Amino acid sequence: MKTDFFDLETLPGGVAHLQLSRPERLNTMTPAFFPAVRDAVAALNAEGRARVLVLSSTGRHFSAGMALDVFAGANDVASMLQMADARARLAFQDYLRQLMRCFDVIEQARFPVIAAVQGGCIGGGLDLAAACDIRVCSADAFFTVQEIHIGMAADLGVLQRLPKIVPPALAREMAYTGERLGAERALAAGLVNAVLPDATATVAHALQLAATIAAKSPLAVAGSKLAINYAVDHPTADALDQMTLLQSAIFDIGEMGRAIAAWKAKESGEFAPLMPVKPV
């Protein structure tokens, strides 16, 4: 699958790879980018065959975030930003939440999503990466909440997700100053799981990690993601209650038998894909 913003391919073993493909524009985002990503991830989720998605990029930077010309001139978004009265402000709220939902699908997908970051992960690029399950980066990578430099608060999820990934005081520092967080500090803070020498090594590492996950039971991986996502936002007692219901829904003794046999044999197990989800 090829779009104006990215290429999407399905690799052997249930690994999907979505690669941003506008290096000449620093992989900046326009309004059309958001539904394109949403629909691509939602389609993978509905199909049920993808077990892991790797999200990478091309060129010097992972993404320089929202294209600045989106905020100026005569375009649909610029007109939405003219909030002169209550009706306009109400319409803007609805529009903004729709944009947020385009990254929500990454967090809510039944499969893990791994971001492989090189160069700058800036503004909306960091919103995108923060919605992923796991992030790895190249040695030249840096992360920045760019929005503060243009006089606005970041509004596509990074201020809500980042304090649950890194220490809250560090998230505040990034949000208030817009200063760059380099690769090594990002690793120390837990924003990324690994730092690799360059972009090629970063994508290779992400794909290898994806292959390792894809070899596990997709039912168990999906259940684990559901449990972790819930636990992040709920007290332990509530999360344990959720786990009792979740485990009763996904516990499969046959799947466990296949997993145990594969583990003992030190080989990949043969697991059926998740069932497709029929669109409403």
The CATH number linked to 95 is 3.90.226.10
Q: Is residue 278 included in any domain, yes or no?
A: no
pLDDT of residue 42: 97
How many CB atoms within 10 Å of residue 89? Answer: 10
Q: Parallel, antiparallel, or unpaired: how do β-strands 113-117 and 134-138 relate? A: parallel
Q: Are residues 205 and 230 in the same domain?
A: no
Mean pLDDT of 48-62: 98
Tokens of 228: 């972790």
pLDDT of residue 70: 80
Q: Is residue 280 included in any domain, yes or no?
A: no
Q: Are residues 17 and 103 in the same domain?
A: yes
Q: Are residues 150 and 198 in the same domain?
A: yes
pLDDT of residue 73: 58
How many CB atoms within 10 Å of residue 224? Answer: 17
CB 192 within 8 A of CB 136: yes
First to last CA, the chain: 23
Query: What is the CB-side half-sphere exposure of residue 259 using CA atoms within 13 A?
Result: 16
Q: What are phi and psi of 151, to 5 degrees?
A: 80, 30
- Please tell me the distance from the alpha carbon of residue 126 to that of residue 146, in angstroms, as a whole number: 9
Q: What angle do CA 17, 107, 235 make, to 5 degrees?
A: 150
Q: Are residues 237 and 199 in the same domain?
A: no
Chain-centre distance for alpha carbon 123: 14
Q: Is residue 273 included in any domain, yes or no?
A: no
pLDDT band at 82 (very low <50, low <70, confident <90, very high): confident
- Please tell me the distance from the alpha carbon of residue 252 to that of residue 79, in angstroms, as a whole number: 52
Q: Are residues 11 and 119 in the same domain?
A: yes
Share of the chain above pLDDT 90, in %: 91
Q: Are residues 152 and 258 in the same domain?
A: no
Map tokens 């007692």 to a residue.
237
pLDDT of residue 76: 63
Q: Are residues 97 and 127 in the same domain?
A: yes
Q: Are residues 74 and 154 in the same domain?
A: yes
Q: Are residues 181 and 109 in the same domain?
A: yes
How many CB atoms within 10 Å of residue 60? Answer: 14
Q: Are residues 89 and 115 in the same domain?
A: yes
Q: Are residues 71 and 126 in the same domain?
A: yes
Q: Which domain holds residue 242?
A: 218-265
Helix (H) or strand (E) holding 37: helix 33-47
Among 178, 194, 214, the domain-final residue is 214
Tokens of 200: 């090629």
Q: Is residue 182 included in any domain, yes or no?
A: yes
Mean pLDDT of 95-113: 97
Q: Is residue 248 included in any domain, yes or no?
A: yes
pLDDT band at 155 (very low <50, low <70, confident <90, very high): very high
Q: Is residue 38 included in any domain, yes or no?
A: yes
Among 196, 214, 232, the domain-final residue is 214
Domain count, the chain: 2
Q: Is residue 270 included in any domain, yes or no?
A: no
pLDDT of residue 79: 65
Mean pLDDT of 208-222: 97
Q: Is residue 276 included in any domain, yes or no?
A: no
Q: Are residues 55 and 13 in the same domain?
A: yes
Mean pLDDT of 117-142: 98
